[in-house]
Amino acid sequence: MATDVKRKVRGGAALVKALEANGIRTVFGIPGVHTLDAYDALIDSDYVDTVLPRHEQGAGFMADGYYRASGRPGVALIVTGPGVTNVATAVGEAFADSSKVLVIATNLEREYLDKLEGNLHEITDQMGVMKPITKWSRRVMSAQEIPGAIAEALEQLDIGRPRPVYLEIPLDVLAEECEIDDLPTATHQVKLPTPESITAAGDAIRSGGKLLLFAGGGCVSEEASAALTELAELSGAAVFTSLMGKGSIAEDHPRALGAFGYRWSDDSPIVPFMTGSDTCLAIGTGLGLRTTANGSMPLPTRLVHVDLDPNEFNKRYQADVAIEADATEFLRALVNDIKLNGGPGAQWSDAEIAEGRQKNFAPADERAARYTPYLQALRAAIPRDGIVINDMTMMSYEAARYFPVYGPRTYTFPRGFGTLGSSLPTAIGAKVARPDKAVVSINGDGGVQFTLTELGAAVHHKIPVPFVIFNDSTHTAVKAAQQRTYPGRFIDVDLVNPDYVKIAEAYGIPGFRAESPEELERLLKESLRSSTPVIIDVPIDLERY
């Protein structure tokens, strides 16, 4: 599909017109002298809105949050040099967690590319900086190339495993005039399973015994979730999820066991379902080292493994059937196969699954029991379809198992890269993408200081997100690790924190201090009715050293 325009424009305008033609509604970025031509064109756009973060890293996290909450690509517009190195951390997180993020960055004029001439923002290999954390990159060398390059970049997001892509435009190309004959749009591609692979999967399931479904991040979409739930109901399977798969089936569904938590442990209540099942269907998970504790998770011996990335097959577990396919399309096809040809010979009963689910959500020990009242308070305050954005913090680690999630794209976690401080800006991007949903940001007092400046962006754009800060004045995970490894020897883990309520006051927004789980529930419910951002500081003392 192409739209005829046949007029002369500058490269910056060509960029904006190409984004419009491809349905991009929001761009996250900080204007700089190297992006003036693009931002000047954005002034005239009635379609593309801009969000102004306070740091380029924030732009990257916002774009990632935009995708995670909506399934639509997040776009960051970044300046040359330090803008690119600043955004790289957030792009690394998006890469590790399979997010569709398009980074558009400028570079020096064509004659100075990859040279050291004493120019502003120069770097010898800016493309090389982004190569390890993107799956596709391209540098355009004329304004005429820009519309086609935007369409290609968006197409690349749909090919194989979702991961960020990178488009680089020299600043003189943005200023160059060109005649646009058409505005190409991306053709969206879906990797379909072959009929033979569906037959093989169905036959494996029908070969006897009970079925266990293991849902990963590839199942966290509205379409995949619906198909996964139908498959579970048809087959009588028990379903558990990875951390990234939380929300792929409602965790109060009669077929759901929940997620096993932040780390796999061999005392998990899900173990009996693994050892008691004959076949495991793992969908949309790479069965990675951290997910499976380096292959120690006792999956059933018969394995059907479905993933978009064939490089994930047969690393720690040998698959009887390995299928490279989109999770939604595979699940839909398998549902049809079972409707036609039947499912497993045995089923897990509702009572067995209910008992397993109850054990999985019960605190495993006295330490976990100290955290669960706060998680219960969060769950009671947040609507069923509300979106929870987690950080690398102790409360979120416990939430991976003990916080029930009821729908796809309502729970995010910086799992792969493990980026501390990502929650606050990621939540801003999520709320921009889904203004119709409640969005809550969960933070630790140490991590939130990495990106606290982005509170300014939330205030500036009137983005009503409650930012909950669990505050024990400590980098708790590190202190606990020091205690385990070098008992009693602590260094650089205790913090001097600001008064977060006064920071809220300085921005002219509400700030509260919740001294108990009950207060947290009440204040969060109140905050979710606010038309502005809110800070809720929650003093805690839950660890024992």
Under-70 pLDDT residues of the chain = 1-6
Give the model's pLDDT for residue 160.
93
Same domain, 333 and 394: no
387 CB neighbour count, 10 Å cutoff: 28
Give the model's pLDDT for residue 39.
98
Q: Is the dihedral of CA 353, 249, 331, 412 positive or negative?
A: negative
**CA atoms within 13 A of residue 12's CA, in its CB half-sphere:** 19
Phi-psi region of 294 (alpha: psi -120 to 50; beta: other; left: phi over 0): left
Counted domains in the chain: 3
Give the model's pLDDT for residue 185.
96
Point out the domain boundary residue: 150, 179, 208: 179
Q: Is residue 230 part of a domain?
A: yes
Q: Is residue 396 part of a domain?
A: yes
Say how far apart CA 129 and CA 453 lie, in whole Å: 25
Same domain, 95 and 236: no
C-beta separation of 429 from 497 below 8 A = no
C-beta separation of 164 from 102 below 8 A = yes
Same domain, 509 and 423: yes
- Which residues have a Cβ under 8 Å from the Cβ of 137 and sit 6 or more positions away? 127, 130, 131, 165, 166, 167, 168
Same domain, 157 and 35: yes
479 CB neighbour count, 10 Å cutoff: 18
Smallest CA-to-CA distance from 192 within 44, 372, 328 is with 328
- Which residues have a Cβ under 8 Å from the Cβ of 390 and sit 6 or more positions away? 396, 399, 411, 412, 413, 414, 423, 442
Strands 534-539 and 511-513 turn out to be: parallel
- CATH number of domain containing 368: 3.40.50.970
Q: Is residue 189 part of a domain?
A: no
- CA 347 vs. chain centroid, Å, equals 33
C-beta separation of 178 from 9 below 8 A = yes
Classify 305 as helix, strand or coil: strand
Kindly calculate the radius of gyration of the chain based on its CA atoms and give it in whole angstroms: 24
Q: pLDDT per residue over 18-44, tens digit each?
A: 999 999 999 999 999 999 999 999 999
Range of the domain at 87: 11-179
Same domain, 338 and 428: no
Same domain, 103 and 242: no
Q: Is residue 535 part of a domain?
A: yes
- In 331-460, beta strands by DSSP E: 387-389, 411-412, 439-444
Q: Is residue 375 part of a domain?
A: yes
Say how far apart CA 371 and CA 395 lie, in whole Å: 7
Same domain, 206 and 296: yes
Same domain, 236 and 327: yes
Same domain, 436 and 533: yes
Same domain, 319 and 376: no
Smallest CA-to-CA distance from 181 within 155, 215, 157, 146 is with 146
Point out the domain boundary residue: 305, 323, 357: 357
| Structure token digits, residue 411 | 């729970």
- CA 76 vs. chain centroid, Å, equals 15
Q: Is residue 1 part of a domain?
A: no
Q: Is residue 184 part of a domain?
A: no
Give the model's pLDDT for residue 6.
62
Point out the domain boundary residue: 357, 391, 414: 357
Give the model's pLDDT for residue 341.
96
Q: Is residue 213 part of a domain?
A: yes
Alpha-carbon separation of residue 57 from 41, 299, 483 (angstroms): 23, 38, 32
Same domain, 317 and 300: yes
Smallest CA-to-CA distance from 507 within 532, 543, 478, 477 is with 532
Q: Is the dihedral of CA 96, 98, 101, 107 positive or negative?
A: positive
**DSSP string over 429-488:** HHHHH-TTS-EEEEEETTTHHHHGGGHHHHHHTT---EEEEEE-SB-HHHHHHHHHHSTT
Same domain, 287 and 428: no
- CATH number of domain containing 351: 3.40.50.1220
The pTM of the whole model exceeds 0.75? yes
